[in-house]
Amino acid sequence: MPEGQTPVADETEQFEPIWVRPSEALERHAQGTFFIIFPTIRTLERLKAFGSVQDLMQACAVNEEPLWTSCPRAGWLAGNEARYMEHEAPFGELALVNPDGQIHHHLDWQSEQAVALLKNLQRLTAPNPGVMTGPGTNSYLVGDPVTGYIAIDPGPADDDHLQRLWRAAGAQIKMIVCTHSHPDHSPGARPLQALCANKPPILGLASLPTARANSQFSPDRELADGEKLVLHASGPDGEIRHTLRVLHTPGHAANHLCLVLEEDGLLFSGDHVLNGSTTVIDPPDGHMGQYLASLDKLAAACEAGAIEFILPAHGHVLGFAHKAITQLSAHRLRREAKIAAAMQAMPQGSLQEWVEKAYDDVPPRLWPVAARSLQAHVDHIREQTLP
Ligand SMILES: [Zn+2]
């Protein structure tokens, strides 16, 4: 509005008109002195990024497209209805599970029961939450009662968890795939196989000599890059088929692989892409150059296969798959630029000094973990600058 306007309430929907800046309104709402409903909160959060009305009008004028569109999703968390916008971590899961916007899905983490994400996709989270594992390792079951199931990442050798996984699959596990050998992913494979009367093969990539002692793994058979694992059966309405395509993705671990569920356009990302935490690159088994190249490979696969959702080994389902991966890549490259600058400013500096400078936006308690990723970036920077 132009200057000097007096707002007047209509007394049906508005009662106490005042002029207020978006940030001030949000502050008062946060303090509990100013009630605002969800859509208004989200609109004000976006408006407050603009310094003035002129800036906002300018942004509208240069954009042919709407400045933003929004379709919040809701689920249940700790007994309450919780709503999320596109940029918030649980959004993708709600969009996948309730595409029509119904509010049925529970976001609370638990290890007691498998969660049905689609009719041919279940997730059972292992009871191993922690700093490195977030809410715990997600084991996935792909398949249905007619085709049987492929189990992805059985997790740690936790008897109760493996029993629950076996039961969720109706004792019909046809193959067991490990995305990589880390101790929260692969040790459950052998005991799960032992539970199954049909002894399903354990598939994946063998750990390399660079793997730590707790990450040794040798599958019954190695999976080739591009190989397809197929479950199929004839059901009442014709043939049912679930196809998992293997993508070799070294970087987080030298023997890491991801899987594309072709019929549903889903990507199982193991630890290569996570929701709510950052992938650790721990050299020498982890390698930053390979990690970035694998991200590019995953981004290309998402584009080619119209993949919208990512199922990570830790955290909820991620939406906007291609965008999520390219943002991750950009974030790593920004961090690498910061590290390169720290190295240039302090050529004789110690790793610790470089961590403090390049991770000054990260709480010091995370610096020991960050130091491993920093080492990976330093290796990558040196690989690129050496003749
Ligand atoms: Zn891992």
pLDDT digits (tens, 9 = 90+) for 181-220: 999 999 999 999 999 999 999 999 999 999 998 999 999 9
Neighbours of 119 (CB within 10 A): 7
Centroid of ligand 1 to alpha carbon of 372 (angstroms):
13
In the chain, which residues have pLDDT < 50? none
Name the 3-class secondary structure at 194. helix
Neighbours of 40 (CB within 10 A): 14
Q: Give the pLDDT of residue 387.
A: 63
Q: What is 109-320's CATH number?
A: 3.60.15.10
Centroid of ligand 1 to alpha carbon of 252 (angstroms):
7
Centroid of ligand 1 to alpha carbon of 136 (angstroms):
12
111 contacts 130 by C-beta, under 8 angstroms: no
Nearest to 119 by CA among 137, 103, 136, 99: 99
Q: Give the pLDDT of residue 357.
A: 94
Centroid of ligand 1 to alpha carbon of 379 (angstroms):
20
Q: Give the pLDDT of residue 24.
A: 95
For the chain, residues classed under CATH 3.60.15.10 are 109-320
Half-sphere exposure of 234 (CA within 13 A, CB side): 1
Measured distance CA(121)–CA(259) in Å, rounded: 13
Burial (CB count <10 Å: 0-12, 13-18, 19+), residue 14: exposed
Neighbours of 69 (CB within 10 A): 7
Q: Long-range contacts for 296-302 (Cβ within 8 Å, ≥24 apart)?
A: 296/329, 297/247, 297/249, 298/247, 298/249, 298/258, 298/267, 298/269, 298/272, 298/273, 298/325, 299/325, 299/326, 299/329, 301/247, 301/260, 301/267, 302/267
193 contacts 154 by C-beta, under 8 angstroms: no
Centroid of ligand 1 to alpha carbon of 169 (angstroms):
24
Measured distance CA(264)–CA(140) in Å, rounded: 14
Centroid of ligand 1 to alpha carbon of 279 (angstroms):
8
pTM above 0.85, yes or no: yes
Centroid of ligand 1 to alpha carbon of 205 (angstroms):
13
Q: Give the pLDDT of residue 308.
A: 96
Half-sphere exposure of 387 (CA within 13 A, CB side): 0
Centroid of ligand 1 to alpha carbon of 249 (angstroms):
12
Q: Give the pLDDT of residue 237.
A: 78
Structure tokens of 218? 């040798």
